[in-house]
Homo-oligomer: A and B are copies of this chain.
Amino acid sequence: MTNNTITESSEAEFLQHYDTACYEKPSFTVDLVIFTVRDEQLHVLLVKRAEHPFKGSWALPGGFLDPQRDDSVDACAVRKLTEETGVSAPYLEQLKTYGSCDRDPRGWIATTVYFALMVSDAVRLGGNQAAACWAPVRGDGVNFNLAFDHAPILADAVERLRSKLEYTHIAVHLLPEEFTLPELQRTYEIILQQPLDKSSFRRRVVQADMLEELTGKQRDGSGRPAQLYRFREYDRLTFFPRSISRHAR
């Protein structure tokens, strides 16, 4: 700290001669596990691989990070999400990084996986001119054989999603901005695969003070109409886990 200028100048000199290319590097990709709820089921977005390896197989969307275009890993995830779905700012959270010499036949490749939640209506599929589909999630995976190690990755993502539902309110990102409590509860039930008690559920949600009652509005089918709500601070740009009601002591 005392010889600041000296340090800086020698550091500048060092950097001038530093060549990152002289070290062998693994390849680096970003993959996405994009969830939505439709037809009373949790679905995940898959794309059909147009090229080798695993040509023709279904896989999680993603691809190589481009240091020229992506200023950060997060930015790369956002870019790929937009390319794939046309949706630019849903709930997006880093899941985990997988990397080894044998998970991809092309060689040593690491992938940082994100998972995203979005409203299925908002999605425009095939923006990336690749065949894409919403695959229903059964148990902790899908009924296809997935390329690479994407099956265990998907299982991790499903596990994380379920786990987070238990102590956060991220499921609101699977619904449109305005929704009713029965809709929200149904979303939880679909993902957690178990019925929830109405009274307990409402108490929990209300106590968290995360919902804003929309005055006057109602809607829905046959019985008594339900109150419409909106998620407070529905910050569409929020990137990292909003720590909603963490398991307090």
**B-facing mask of A13-27, CB < 8 A → 1, else 0?**
011001010011111
Q: B28, A25: Cβ atoms under 8 Å? A: yes
A26-B28, A67-B25, A112-B110 known; A15-B247 Cβ under 8 A:
no
Question: How many whole Å from A168's CB to the nearest CB in chain B?
Answer: 11
Inter-chain contacts of A101 with B (CB < 8 A): 67, 71-72
Give Cα distance in the complex from A28 to B29, angstroms.
11
Q: B163, A246: Cβ atoms under 8 Å? A: yes
Q: B27, A25: Cβ atoms under 8 Å? A: yes
A15-B106, A110-B28, A246-B163 known; A7-B55 Cβ under 8 A:
yes
| Residue A56 is within 8 A (CB to CB) of chain B in the complex | yes
| Residue A100 is within 8 A (CB to CB) of chain B in the complex | yes
Question: How many whole Å from A174's CB to the nearest CB in chain B?
Answer: 20
How many copies of this chain does the complex contain? 2
Inter-chain contacts of A102 with B (CB < 8 A): 71
Q: Which stretch (A91-99, A119-127, A228-236) binds chain B?
A: A91-99
Give Cα distance in the complex from A99 to B112, angstroms.
10
The A interface, classified by DSSP as helix, strand, loop or mixed, is loop
Closest to A10 in B: B52
Inter-chain contacts of A74 with B (CB < 8 A): 100
Inter-chain contacts of A72 with B (CB < 8 A): 99-101
Question: How many whole Å from A112's CB to the nearest CB in chain B?
Answer: 5
Closest to A108 in B: B67
- A residues in contact (CB < 8 Å) with B: 1, 7, 10-11, 14-15, 18, 20, 23-28, 51-56, 64-68, 71-75, 94, 96-102, 105-110, 112, 145, 163, 166-167, 246-247, 249
Q: List 26 A-B contacts (CB under 8 A).
A: A10-B52, A11-B52, A11-B54, A11-B55, A14-B53, A14-B55, A15-B52, A15-B106, A20-B106, A20-B107, A23-B64, A24-B68, A25-B25, A25-B27, A25-B65, A26-B67, A28-B110, A71-B102, A72-B99, A72-B100, A73-B98, A73-B100, A74-B100, A75-B100, A94-B96, A163-B246
